Chains A and B, each alone.
Chain A
Amino acid sequence: MVTGKSVVFKDKGLPYLLLAPEVTLTAVFFIVPAVQALIMAFYREDAFGFSRTFIGFGNFERVLNDAQYVQSIWTTLAFSVAVAVITMVLALFFASLANNIGKKAIYYQTIIISPYAVAPLVAGVMWFFLMSPAVGVVAYALRLLGITWNHAIVPWQAFMLVVAASSWQRIAYNFLFYLAGMQMIPDSLLESAAIDGSGPVSRFWRITFPLLSPTTFFLAIVNTIYVFFYTFPVIHTLTEGGPNNSTATMVYRIYRDGFRSLDYGGSSAQSVILMAFVMVFVLIQFRYVERRVYY
């Protein structure tokens, strides 16, 4: 049941009228296409759309038996774990440093959150430039250290390029949530621990970090969903899924199979699999949100 006000207006038609734009847009652009994707996943369609044949779970079988597709699921999950861990550790570190320094914190906050305003693609272009074997400053510095960097050839380097671009951009968001979480912790708790002689590091591990666990959990889920969808611009423009499929994520495969190879059935089956993944994450988040309310 959805909560509402106890004092309400009375009108029979008006609420439906107010809801009409949102419901219409949702139905036309969200629900109908999602249902169509669901239906298309069970048909084989020729590339010109002249005929289609019901093939049951045929598309799913074909897709899941494709070793490259299964690899793309693992690649997507690996990206999620790498980006979530890197951004959360760094954001937590910077937020805990900024939390107890008074008014100056706002200057640091202003700079650290500014990548929030930088588009994922733009962050990708920036890191691609810095690490380009032909012109990149970072690639040049790495060469001086004896590391040859070429993300066009070496799979793990292409993977790391995408991780670097996403993480650089994403620390901002995590930092904001950790800082907001820390500001909710009552000073009295930390003060009494300080009086008992515990230093800043032990206060962090014994009080701050455990009390932040709802934030940590929330960020883990949100970062995962973020990586699922927002690594696409970087991958599409800069690595094209390669080299050797090392950066082909699930969303990239949906795009490539649907719009390049015109395999609508396969692409739709992949969409349904992706939808299932997202739904699991959203449901986990939901359960947690509900539990939080009863604290």
Chain B
Amino acid sequence: MISDSTPTRVFRHVFLVIGCLIVIVPIYFVFVASSIPLPAIFQRPMPLLPGSEIIQNYYQAIFHGGRGLGGARAIGAGVMLQNSFIMAGGITVAKIIVSLLSTFAIVFFRFPGRSILFWIIFMTLMLPVEVRIVPTYGLVSDLGMLNSYVGLILPLAVSATATFLFKQYFMTIPDQLVEAAKIDGAGPMRFFSYILVPMSRTPIAALVVIQFVYGWNQYLWPLLITTERRFYTLMIGLGRMLNAGDAQADWHIIMAITILSMIPTMLLVLGMQKTFVKGLTEADK
């Protein structure tokens, strides 16, 4: 490594600290707003230090929610957290299992139609839900899956990203392993569950982070198919509360829910930082 001159070192650290502040300061203000009573938020300027209402605000956010359009109460963040967990978790598990199986078939077998099937799967990359939204909504509605977890999860459960990441990873597995398994008389499914899946811990872990964040952040799809409040995810609930207009909104509750909705994904991303960074930068290339 090349050693820097002192001014260069100082320059690096000063601007990296500024970069970190750009990330932290907005979140800090949101946190402060979530810890003070509503009238204090309307002070000019708003207080700069956390207040004493933190427990009351978060209690109200989790169990009651804030006012929505026309004064109607939205639902408590507790229910929305649960729905977001079910949706994000369901999408993650489904995508990983489905992609593991199909990629195993594509890489470790030769059969007629193999290329065509791979390209069909790959096409899903080009068709995000937004470009086929009206017919997909019609279909899910016809299947009676509006306001259901299955309806939230299934249409988003296929992933070209996962298929690609697994394919790249499987290609690095030495042929000798397959040969050894065959000599020992292990069938393909035995090889899959005792060798391949345990060996794929790294890409699986990276995909858990990537896909959970993807599922957690979904907005347009749950917006269309959840009309009952008990199926609202955090994103939908937050959106509905803001429709009250920014002068009447329950800002202290909205800010508490904003903080609550950052925590699970942030813990996941930062807790699995190393695996996730490696998986992400390799998956998308």
**Residues of A near any B CB (own CB < 8 A):** 1-9, 11-12, 14-16, 18-19, 21-23, 25-34, 36-37, 40, 90, 93-94, 97-98, 100-102, 108-122, 125-130, 132-135, 137, 140-141, 152, 168, 171, 173, 176-177, 180, 187, 190-191, 194, 200, 218, 222, 229-230, 232-233, 236-238, 251, 254-255, 258-259, 264, 267-268, 271, 274-275, 278-279, 282, 289, 292
Binds A, one of B19-27, B52-60, B72-80: B19-27
Checking A109, A190, A237 against B2 with a beta-carbon cut-off of 8 angstroms, the contacting residue is: A190
| Complex Cα–Cα for A223 and B216 (A) | 20
Cross-chain contact A30 with B123 (CB below 8 angstroms): yes
Cross-chain contact B121 with A233 (CB below 8 angstroms): no
| Complex Cα–Cα for A126 and B28 (A) | 10
Residues of B within 8 A of A128 (CB): 242, 246
| Complex Cα–Cα for A7 and B4 (A) | 51
CB distance from A105 to the nearest CB of B (A): 9
Residues of A within 8 A of B224 (CB): 259
| Complex Cα–Cα for A26 and B157 (A) | 9
Closest A residue to B268 by beta carbon equals A117
Residues of B within 8 A of A133 (CB): 246
Cross-chain contact B128 with A278 (CB below 8 angstroms): yes
Could you name 28 residue pairs across A and B whose Cβ atoms are closer than 8 Å?
A4-B109, A5-B107, A9-B109, A9-B188, A11-B188, A15-B106, A15-B114, A16-B105, A16-B111, A22-B121, A93-B15, A97-B16, A108-B20, A110-B273, A117-B266, A119-B217, A119-B261, A128-B246, A129-B29, A129-B30, A129-B251, A134-B246, A200-B8, A229-B130, A237-B243, A255-B133, A259-B137, A278-B126
Cross-chain contact B99 with A271 (CB below 8 angstroms): no
B63 interface hit (Cβ, 8 Å): no
CB distance from A242 to the nearest CB of B (A): 14
B201 interface hit (Cβ, 8 Å): no
**Most chain A beta carbons < 10 A, residue from B27, B109, B137:** B109
Checking B15, B132, B238 against A125 with a beta-carbon cut-off of 8 angstroms, the contacting residue is: B238
Cross-chain contact A135 with B136 (CB below 8 angstroms): no
Closest 5 A/B residue pairs (Cβ): A36-B135, A233-B219, A33-B135, A18-B105, A22-B102
Cross-chain contact B101 with A119 (CB below 8 angstroms): no
**Residues of B near any A CB (own CB < 8 A):** 1-2, 4, 8-9, 11-13, 15-16, 19-20, 22-24, 26-27, 29-30, 33, 41-42, 44-46, 97-99, 101-102, 104-111, 114-115, 117-121, 123-128, 130-139, 154-155, 157-158, 163, 170-171, 175, 178-179, 182, 187-189, 191, 213, 216-217, 219-220, 223-224, 235, 238-239, 242-243, 246-247, 251, 254-255, 258, 261-262, 265-266, 268-270, 273, 277, 280-281, 284-285
Cross-chain contact B217 with A120 (CB below 8 angstroms): yes
Checking A29, A97, A187, A289 against B15 with a beta-carbon cut-off of 8 angstroms, the contacting residue is: A97
Checking B26, B97, B187 against A130 with a beta-carbon cut-off of 8 angstroms, the contacting residue is: B26
| Complex Cα–Cα for A90 and B21 (A) | 13
Checking B22, B239, B251 against A121 with a beta-carbon cut-off of 8 angstroms, the contacting residue is: B239
Checking B23, B109, B110, B284 against A222 with a beta-carbon cut-off of 8 angstroms, the contacting residue is: B284
Cross-chain contact B178 with A5 (CB below 8 angstroms): yes
Cross-chain contact A110 with B270 (CB below 8 angstroms): yes
| Complex Cα–Cα for A12 and B136 (A) | 33
Given contacts A22-B158, A26-B124, contact A127 B115 (CB under 8 A): no
Cross-chain contact A187 with B247 (CB below 8 angstroms): no
Residues of B within 8 A of A289 (CB): 285
Q: Assuming A19-B117, A25-B157, A236-B219, what are 5 further A-B pairs, CB within 8 angstroms?
A: A5-B108, A12-B111, A31-B123, A40-B135, A118-B262
Given contacts A4-B106, A7-B179, A119-B261, contact A114 B115 (CB under 8 A): no
Residues of A within 8 A of B131 (CB): 34, 37, 254, 271, 274-275, 278
CB distance from B93 to the nearest CB of A (A): 12
Residues of A within 8 A of B220 (CB): 232-233, 236, 251, 255
Cross-chain contact B219 with A9 (CB below 8 angstroms): no
Residues of B within 8 A of A27 (CB): 120
Cross-chain contact B134 with A268 (CB below 8 angstroms): yes
Given contacts A119-B216, A126-B26, contact A37 B135 (CB under 8 A): yes
Given contacts A9-B108, A135-B46, contact A23 B120 (CB under 8 A): yes
Cross-chain contact A113 with B277 (CB below 8 angstroms): yes
| Complex Cα–Cα for A50 and B179 (A) | 60
**Most chain A beta carbons < 10 A, residue from B26, B114, B123, B131:** B131
Closest B residue to A193 by beta carbon equals B2
Closest A residue to B24 by beta carbon equals A111
| Complex Cα–Cα for A187 and B3 (A) | 12
